[in-house]
Structure 1
């Protein structure tokens, strides 16, 4: 199964071209190598709630991405608004994914408890918030990577809830 994946980076400096988006590169490599995913859309927006929301809606409703991975904006800074934007556009939360990512990362750094990342569903798309740092992206995505194909199979109706063909 080949999954359609979109990457959204929330970064003021990245959106102005002042910083290379190495976190998105890490996502791309992991998705293509470990999940047989195809990157169908990639975008960098500033840390503005409305712009993040608009990009997420377009990635789900227009591009029909199976999976949207965001990077950046999950910390405690005032401009970190990716979780709030995500909560505004999703229909349902998938808290276990965010909990698993934090738990896994806590084994590497106690600062992982400060992550406000959320995960949820909009239509038939799964949205997962990842940190902004490449190392954090790698750790968090690795924590849930093995469950994403099954989650997407259920969400898109390609598989029943218990792993049986729909």
Structure 2
């Protein structure tokens, strides 16, 4: 069985400059380690809030590193430097707006400012790219909401079969006919 490669990209000027430790990217890795029982390899980067750097990183992870899933954190708010959704849309062949809709709906259960988040998702070649918010606490909330659909999405794109610990997260896959 092929080892899945999963890109984790933290988009943060301050974390990329070493002003503070990247907790959000590490939170994504921790959650994925809890979810996944299949063998996987993280491809991890911390980069600044620069459109061209985000685009180049997503292209590299999708086209060169062959990551079947790329999860970003940060850069999804309304601040002028928050450009992750625009960079994601620029490199994607098709957008998957249901991911952002569901994450915002889930986050609204916890904070009224969830409507300010612009996270989205899209497809580039054989890769699913999902933008998460930048707060470590919201990483788990958002991934818990959308991850049940991710393994099947990757199946439909002929990617690696992601097996999960169903006591932690139960992926949805239609029953075979």
The normalised TM-score by structure 1 is 0.91
Residue 40 (structure 1) aligns with: 42
Structure 1 stretch displaced more, 48-57 or 92-101: 92-101
SS in 2 for 1:27: helix
User: Which structure 2 residues correspond to residues 12-51 of structure 1 after superposition, within 5 A?
Assistant: 12-36=13-37, 38-51=40-53
Structure 1 stretch displaced more, 149-158 or 54-63: 149-158
Q: Is the 8 A contact 1:7 1:39 kept in 2?
A: no
What is the CA distance between 1:151 and its match in structure 2? 1.1
Could you list the runs of 5+ residues in structure 1 that have no partner in the other structure?
Answer: none
Residue 72 (structure 1) aligns with: 74
Higher helix proportion (structure 1 or 2): 1
Query: CA RMSD, aligned part only?
Result: 1.8
Residue 143 (structure 1) aligns with: 145
Residue 4 (structure 1) aligns with: 5
Structure 1 outlier segments of 4+, above 6 Å: none
User: Which structure 2 residues correspond to residues 126-137 of structure 1 after superposition, within 5 A?
Assistant: 126-137=128-139
Q: Is the 8 A contact 2:9 2:45 kept in 1?
A: yes
SS in 2 for 1:129: strand
Task: Count residues with an aligned counterpart.
Answer: 163
SS in 2 for 1:79: coil
Q: Tell me how far apart the structure 1 counterparts of residues 107 and 147 of structure 2 sit (CA, whole Å).
A: 14
What is the CA distance between 1:38 and its match in structure 2? 2.0
Q: Tell me how far apart the structure 2 counterparts of residues 94 and 75 of structure 1 sit (CA, whole Å).
A: 18
Q: Tell me how far apart the structure 2 counterparts of residues 164 and 6 of structure 1 sit (CA, whole Å).
A: 29
Residue 154 (structure 1) aligns with: 156
SS in 2 for 1:19: coil
